[in-house]
Structure 1
Amino acid sequence: MQKIIYQSTVSNIGEFAKDTLSEGMLITFKEGAPADLSDYCFTHTHDELLADLAVGQIIKLGQQEYLITAVGAVATTNFRELGHLTLRFDGGDSAELPGSIHVDGAIPETLAIGDEIVVKGNK
């Protein structure tokens, strides 16, 4: 069984956040993000990240689970400090950008306010 290393709840959906899904991305930020950024983000309550993000972990968005296939060099720091994730739903095995996290699975139609964001560790 995988250990939960992170858990938060979607608290706001920016005006253009759903548009990024059509481009194969989902962007998150913790509450309090600047307005020009939060317009494109799924804002969430932010909890402590108990381990670095890594390939093979599972991220759960609402009811859908995704296997992490690549983690950019600064993705863990961005997530830990800012609650910022840029998820790419392409199953890529190397990060396109230093802050990107690539996952395997279908692009979600949306996330709703109250949906959880959960990361399950490898052990």
Structure 2
Amino acid sequence: MSVPLYSLRITAVGEYVEYSLRELRLILFSDAVPDDIASYCAVHQASELTAELSPGQQMKLNDKKLSGDRGRPCGNGKFTTAWPYHAKF
């Protein structure tokens, strides 16, 4: 089993996150999220980065691997609103 480069725990979900998830989008922001955008974000507590992030790496959200390419969204996974998630990169 590989060690995650980075992990985070969702601690709060803004009231409009559900609408983004319907479009297969998720905006993650640290607990320092500005008030004017907090309603659109999933707020998280993060771990320390254990290695450098690089192009081509995959994100794992629970047991679902997600990937993006050249600025396209990571929309090949299905999201639900069953929070909290624990994401590993």
TM range (shorter): 0.7 to 0.9
Question: What is the total number of aligned residue pairs between the two structures?
Answer: 88
For normalisation by structure 2, the TM-score amounts to 0.80
Q: Which residue of 2 aligns with 1:68?
A: 67
- Runs ≥4 in structure 1, deviation > 4 angstroms? none
Give aligned-pair identity as a percent. Answer: 24
Give the superposed CA RMSD: 2.0
- TM-score when scaled to structure 1? 0.61
The one-letter amino acid paired with 1:67 is L
Contact conserved, 2:64 with 2:77, CA < 8 A, in 1?
A: no
1:36 alignment partner, SS class:
coil
The answer as to whether partners of 2:17 and 2:42 remain within 8 angstroms in 1 is: yes
Q: Distance in 2 between matches of 1:25 and 1:5?
A: 22
Of Structure 1 and Structure 2, the greater strand share is in 1
Gaps of 5+ in 1: 71-93, 97-101
Structure 1 pair 17/67, CA: closer, same or farther in 2 (3 Å)?
A: closer
Specify which structure has the higher proportion of helix. 1
